[in-house]
Amino acid sequence: MIKKKIIDGETYLRISDLAALSGVNIRTLQRWANAGDLVNFLTIYQTEGGINYFKLGFPKDDDVLVEGSTFKYKMRKDPECQSQ
């Protein structure tokens, strides 16, 4: 089952969901994500707890980078957040 978050109408997926949808092994996706190899088509968002979520497309202009990172962004907090 795909577990996604919807914030402000945007869909965010976990790495296991990306693996299921793409047929690519989770470890391969993790390696690519940690190397910054997915930035041309996915944006990586990280929660305060360190969990990564992925969104198709580029970051928004007001997204804030995680401290010390050049490609991971802080996950937006939204009281209207829905998990599905």
First-last CA distance in the chain? 9
Residue in 15, 78, 24 with CA at minimum distance from that of residue 51: 15
For the chain, what is the mean pLDDT? Answer: 87
The two structure tokens encoding residue 47? 């929660």
Q: Which residues are within 8 A (CB) of 58 and not within 5 positions of it... i.e. 6 or more apart?
A: 43
pTM for the model stands at 0.81
What's the confidence (pLDDT) of residue 2? 79
Q: What average pLDDT score do residues 9-20 get?
A: 91
Alpha helices per DSSP H over 4-62: 15-22, 26-35
What's the confidence (pLDDT) of residue 78? 53
Q: Is the pLDDT of residue 20 over 50?
A: yes
What's the confidence (pLDDT) of residue 22? 92
What's the confidence (pLDDT) of residue 79? 39
